[in-house]
Structure 1
Amino acid sequence: MLEALGLGPAEEAVYTALMAQPTASAHELARQTGIAAAEIARILADMETSGLVSVADQPDRKESGPAGQQTGAQFVRYRLTPPSVALAPFLVEQRNALHRAESAFSVLIEQYRDTAVQSAGGVVEVVTGTKQVAHRFHQLQHGAQRELLVFLVGAPVAVPRADTDLSERTVLDRGVDFRVVAARDYFDGPDVARDMREAITAGLELRLVDSLPLKMVVSDRERAMVPLDVAGSGAEPSAIVVHRSGLLTALVHLFETEWAQARPLHTTSTGIHAEPKADQQPTTGELEVLALLLAGFSDRRAASQLGLSIRTVERRTRRLMDLAGADSRLQLGWHAARAGWL
């Protein structure tokens, strides 16, 4: 816990041991932590200099005993300085260090942009090989500060789904706005629906389309990666990394266009389901069929009641299921009630 503030494991062990008691000597702390008494004495001296502890009791015993005999220094008792006072400077220093790192990061990016040749070589990087493509993918995801935009298509090639799921959780934990448009074939793999359901619960926004033109990840609208290899070609995985340019702007526009037309996915106790498109609603005739089906009528009885052919009832039912993104009539009924169709 305290390593994040710049303290080492031994210092944290001593600090934690002292926190559980009003005062303690180096000899007592050595017994509690398993660290040698001489090392404890050195750590306490450093912590006293840093203001983390203070001397609570200084005995009159002189440090003149024979080798191996406990000296007066080992009987000096220490107490913790209140954490709100002692640890505040460490926290400030860590914040300042992070700020300096972010500033250096920004300067390096700007220097790279200033010195890069304004040509295809300065705008687009070509990455080849499974390991290299996976590494750049994780760089884009973990480097995102504000937003990630992703197209998911088919089975992954360079980055296993398990690694992708871990990256998603890390990004969501940092509060990054994470939006994904997935093609239907992405859900063909085992356990994909379960993993995506967990991601949605964690805050990922997911929408569904029938197909997408490409796979893609866009990080903070500053960088994007698009695979170059054709699925099933057997070629070594490769991708292009696009930096800020008109091409990147076009990729972001493509994402927003697909996002606006895609169906939002939400989780229920039975899995992930797509909401009907906002601009598509059932017709009066389709709602008549739906009402009878929900009342328990068979297709044949519904057709007879409405004076329609069975094929027409089946066609209207199929369109209702498409509008609702439902895979069964049971799901259709749930969506109809949720959307207020009846």
Structure 2
Amino acid sequence: MLQSLGLGPAEEAVYTALLARPTASAQDLVRQTGLDEAETTRILLDLTTRGLAAVATEARSGVSGPSDCDAGSRPARYRLTPPSVALAPILVEQRNALHRAETAFSMLTEQYRSTAAHPAGSVVEVVVGVEQVAHRFHQLQRGAQRELLVFLVGAPTAVPRDDADLSESSALDRGVDFRVVAAKDYLDGPDVARDVKAGIAAGVEMRLADSVPLKMVVSDRERAMVPLDMTDSGGEPSAIVVHRSGLLTALVHLFEREWAEARPLYATTTGVRAQPTTDQQPTEGELEVLALLLAGVSDRRAASQLGLSIRTVERRTRRLMDLAGADSRLQLGWHAARAGWL
């Protein structure tokens, strides 16, 4: 937590241990942090020099400095400087540094656009090689502040799925809206359903289409990345990065069209399911079974009343649940009411 304010792991351990005590000696903190006494003493002196801690008043008498102890005196004891006093200047400086970096980013971006050697150079750039493609992919995802639009199709080539999941998690933590349209066969990959379920639970809005036209990621509607056929780059993964232009606008429109036509995916206890399409409706025989099930009639009794075998009733129930995208009969009843099946 405190590493973002400039403290290393060992410094954070000492600072956090001291936070829980009014005062403490280096020996006290050794027992709590697991660091050796020399390292703990050095860190305490450094925290004191930086104004994050101070020597406790009762420990000052009989010692010439925070690191010295006369033979008969007690070890120096330390206390924290109130965080609101000590850490506030660090936070202000980091905010100022971020503001300077954002200003420099804006200036460099404008300069790049205005001095491109060829008009097309400011619209489309070609990236070749596994490392370069992965680097630009992470730039797009980690640089997003408002929205990410993604087409998923086929197996990953340049960016392993675990690495993509880390970038996805970082974007969600920042409050970025994350929408994904996945091709139906994308879910066939190993462990994909598990990862998709975790993504949906974390806040990704995901929809399923029979197919999508291309693999793509769009960041804040300002940049997009589209992989190229590896045969065009000597077998190496390659991609184009599209900047703000009519081409980027067309890619965003393409995403919105596919999004509108795709079926929402939702997590279930066993994996993920797509909401059924509106043209899939139960047959009259299936509705007869549904009416009896919702009335609390058992499968055996429903079979007897309808003159069917139990196997037929179970098969019709299974199809109704598939149409509804339901994992339980309770979910089936909820969907049937919402869809107006009865």
Q: 1:16 to 1:71 in 2, by over 3 A?
A: farther
* Offset at residue 125 of structure 1 (A): 0.7
Provide the rounded CA distance (Å) in 2 between the counterparts of 1:337 and 1:182. Answer: 28
- Structure 1 runs of 4+ with >6 Å offset: 71-74, 230-234, 320-323, 329-334
* Offset at residue 255 of structure 1 (A): 0.3
Which residue in the other structure is 1:311 paired with? none
Equivalent position amino acid for 1:59 in 2: S
Provide the rounded CA distance (Å) in 2 between the counterparts of 1:272 and 1:232. Answer: 36
Which residue in the other structure is 1:178 paired with? 178
Provide the rounded CA distance (Å) in 2 between the counterparts of 1:233 and 1:338. Answer: 51
* Offset at residue 2 of structure 1 (A): 2.2
Q: Could you give the per-residue CA deviations for residues 19-54 of structure 1, whole angstroms, max 9, x where no partner exists?
A: 34323456766787424287357425404xx25435
* Offset at residue 94 of structure 1 (A): 2.2
Residue of structure 2 aligned with 1:46, choices 34, 38, 49: 49
Matched, 1:224 2:224: yes
Residue of structure 1 aligned with 2:288, choices 264, 289, 292: 292
* Offset at residue 99 of structure 1 (A): 2.4
Provide the rounded CA distance (Å) in 1 between the counterparts of 2:69 and 2:5. Answer: 36
Aligned with 1:182: secondary structure? strand
* Offset at residue 147 of structure 1 (A): 0.8
Provide the rounded CA distance (Å) in 1 between the counterparts of 2:153 and 2:255. Answer: 13
Q: 1:29 to 1:248 in 2, by over 3 A?
A: same
Provide the rounded CA distance (Å) in 1 between the counterparts of 2:44 and 2:73. Answer: 8
* Offset at residue 103 of structure 1 (A): 2.3
* Offset at residue 8 of structure 1 (A): 3.9
* Offset at residue 180 of structure 1 (A): 0.3
Provide the rounded CA distance (Å) in 1 between the counterparts of 2:333 and 2:173. Answer: 35
Contact 1:59 1:75 in 2 (8 A): no
Contact 1:59 1:76 in 2 (8 A): no
Q: Could you give the per-residue CA deviations for residues 237-289 of structure 1, whole angstroms, max 9, x where no partner exists?
A: 21111011110010001001111111111112232111234x6473xxx4523
Provide the rounded CA distance (Å) in 2 between the counterparts of 1:189 and 1:25. Answer: 56
* Offset at residue 95 of structure 1 (A): 2.3
Counterparts of 1:135-154 in structure 2, within 5 Å, are 135-154=135-154
Normalising by structure 2, we get a TM-score of 0.77
Equivalent position amino acid for 1:23 in 2: T
Counterparts of 1:173-252 in structure 2, within 5 Å, are 173-229=173-229, 235-252=235-252
Equivalent position amino acid for 1:177 in 2: D
Equivalent position amino acid for 1:208 in 2: L
Which residue in the other structure is 2:312 paired with? none
Aligned with 1:89: secondary structure? helix
Aligned with 2:149: secondary structure? strand
Counterparts of 1:320-335 in structure 2, within 5 Å, are 324=324, 335=335
Matched, 1:133 2:133: yes
Q: 1:151 to 1:45 in 2, by over 3 A?
A: closer
Aligned with 1:266: secondary structure? strand
Which residue in the other structure is 2:295 paired with? none
Contact 1:228 1:237 in 2 (8 A): yes
* Offset at residue 142 of structure 1 (A): 1.4
Which residue in the other structure is 1:260 paired with? 260
Which residue in the other structure is 1:56 paired with? 57
Q: 1:336 to 1:40 in 2, by over 3 A?
A: closer
Provide the rounded CA distance (Å) in 2 between the counterparts of 1:164 and 1:62. Answer: 56
Please tell me the root mean square deviation across aligned C-alpha atoms, in Å: 3.9
Provide the rounded CA distance (Å) in 1 between the counterparts of 2:36 and 2:325. Answer: 62
Unpaired segments of 5 or more residues in structure 2? 293-298, 309-314
Aligned residues: 317
* Offset at residue 83 of structure 1 (A): 2.1
* Offset at residue 203 of structure 1 (A): 0.4
Contact 2:112 2:122 in 1 (8 A): no
Q: 1:71 to 1:15 in 2, by over 3 A?
A: farther
